[in-house]
Amino acid sequence: MKRVIWIILALLILVALFFSIGLIKPSIQYESKITVDRPVDRAFMVFIDGSKMDQWLTGFKRIELVSGMPNFPGSIFNLILEMNGKEVTLKEEVVDFRWNELFSVRIHHDLMSIENVNQFTPMEMKTEITGTYRVTGKNIFWRSMLVFARGRMEKRARNDFNSLQRVIESS
């Protein structure tokens, strides 16, 4: 009987530790960066071209304008992705748009919110693209889970940016 009590107590401590992670660290941040061998105007055009997103954005199915004018702050899109064999719809709001310089969005999902800022920096005939991400779980469970999912999210962003680099340089 004492053994069962100790096991239950250990499990309760582990659960409490898990949830405390979400209280201590409610969001995660990471960055992905590439340098493409194309001028900034070409790199930016490929980045915002919805017809090319399936070539570099993992799971991309389509993007639909919900309200506003495309690429204007306040405009809202549905970004439809396929994840684990299921269609997932993310609500994407344009926060800031500066031609050949910046594309910033806030992405809403049932489980989390993502603030994504993509900065385009000209470097003679090349362009450095930096994506910064801040992901916040919508509840204590998902805030805690994000800490463990960070590596996977960083890897996905890195893979998407590497694919973006190939698409830009082949255009």
List domains and CATH numbers for the chain: 2-170 (3.30.530.20)
Residue 123 — left, alpha, or beta (φ > 0 → left; ψ -120 to 50 → alpha)? beta
Average confidence score pLDDT of the chain: 94
Identity of the amino acid at 16: A
Do residues 18 and 137 touch, judged by C-beta distance below 8 A? no
Do residues 52 and 164 touch, judged by C-beta distance below 8 A? no
pLDDT digits (tens, 9 = 90+) for 122-163: 998 999 999 999 999 999 999 999 999 999 999 999 999 999
Q: Please check the confidence at residue 1 and state whether its pLDDT lies above 80.
A: no
Q: Please check the confidence at residue 67 and state whether its pLDDT lies above 90.
A: yes
> Alpha carbon of 123 to those of 36, 39, 84, 168: distances in Å?
10, 8, 38, 15
pLDDT digits (tens, 9 = 90+) for 19-48: 888 888 899 999 999 999 999 999 999 999
